């Protein structure tokens, strides 16, 4: 029985990845804050694919909660695949107008929580000599755009962590992949614009953005490669996007 541990599993790319991996026969540990959404997802996957899901209703930043859980249920932290999908951005203000509390939130979730969860799952993978850590990077981890200094810094950090981890576990059989999407229509922009749905919708207007399912299929493709194949990094953008600042919109 293959298992995947997915953070940020209640929505967006995390939820779509749960669906894509369940369809390929993996059983799941689903971590996110919103228990009702995790419950509904687990029920629908059980019905559709017979998937067994464990639900972990926790804020991914809750270090003490994670440590307690790892002690009580170490098996949860021994998945075949870890997908670090939890992540967010806040605002597009220039740095000089930024909110340091929001910087903390972005860095704590995108970087520190990702490190902590990965750290918790690695010992079992290394003992087994197999396992796959998938990071949700971003095009923002390759290129910086105006108003994106802190978010781009967090995703550049994810890229550095991915590369560093790959070297640290080299020779162990553990694979490390980063999937780095451009514009994907999810709740990402609504969160970034602090609940402003109208402004969020404009980000995806006039062209066909990626869907969460598009990215989930990319992740599933990476995971399904034979054990000797490690897809190191996949950058995926909508066809209408040529760079982080170039999007061809109609009208």
Closest to ligand 8X3 by CB, 59 vs 187, is 187
207 is a catalytic site residue? no
Rounded least distance, CB 133 to ligand 8X3, Å: 19
3-state secondary structure 152-213: HHHHHHHHHHHHHHHHHCCCCCEEEEEEEECCEECCHHHHHCCCCHHHHHHHCCCCCCEEHH
What DSSP assignment string belongs to 52-77? -EEEEE--TT-HHHHHHHHHH-GGGG
Which x/- pattern, by CB under 6 A, does the window 205-244 give for ligand 8X3?
---------------------------------------x
Among 138, 154, 186, 218, binds ligand 8X3 (CB under 6 A): 138
Placement of tokens 């930043």 in the chain: 61
Interface characters, 12-31, with ligand 8X3 (x: CB under 6 A) = --------------------
Sheet containing strand 174-181, edge to edge, reads 53-57, 27-32, 3-7, 81-84, 131-136, 174-181, 233-236
Q: Determine if 110 is a binding residue for ligand 8X3 (CB under 6 A).
A: no
Q: Which of 183, 215, 223, 231 binds ligand 8X3 (CB under 6 A)?
A: 183
Q: Using an 8 Å Cβ cutoff, are 148 and 90 in contact?
A: no
When asked if residue 162 is in the footprint of ligand 8X3 (CB under 6 A), the reply is no
Q: Which of the residues are catalytic?
A: 151
The footprint of ligand 8X3 (CB under 6 A) covers 138-140, 148, 182-183, 244
């Amino acid at each position: 029985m293959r298992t995947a541990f997915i953070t940020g599993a209640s929505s967006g790319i995390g939820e779509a990845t749960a669906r894509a991996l369940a369809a390929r026969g993996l059983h799941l540990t689903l971590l996110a804050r919103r228990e009702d959404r995790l419950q509904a997802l687990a029920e629908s996957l059980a019905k559709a694919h017979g998937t067994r899901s464990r639900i972990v209703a926790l804020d991914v930043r809750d270090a003490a909660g994670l440590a307690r859980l790892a002690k009580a249920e170490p098996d949860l932290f021994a998945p075949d695949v870890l997908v670090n999908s939890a992540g967010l951005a806040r605002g597009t203000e220039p740095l000089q107008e930024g909110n340091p509390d929001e910087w903390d939130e972005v860095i704590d979730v995108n970087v520190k929580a990702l490190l902590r969860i990965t750290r918790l799952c690695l010992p079992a993978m290394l003992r087994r000599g197999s396992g796959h850590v998938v990071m949700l990077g971003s095009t923002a981890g390759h290129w910086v755009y105006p108003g994106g200094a802190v978010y781009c810094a967090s995703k550049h950090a994810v890229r550095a962590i991915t590369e560093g981890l790959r070297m640290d576990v080299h020779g162990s059989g553990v694979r490390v992949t980063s999937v780095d999407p451009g514009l994907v229509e999810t709740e990402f922009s609504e969160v970034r614009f602090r609940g402003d749905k109208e402004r969020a919708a404009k980000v995806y207007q006039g062209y066909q953005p990626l869907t969460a399912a598009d990215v989930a299929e990319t992740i599933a493709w990476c995971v399904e490669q034979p054990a000797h194949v490690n897809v190191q990094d996949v950058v995926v953008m909508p066809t209408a996007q040529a760079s982080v600042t170039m999007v061809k919109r109609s009208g």
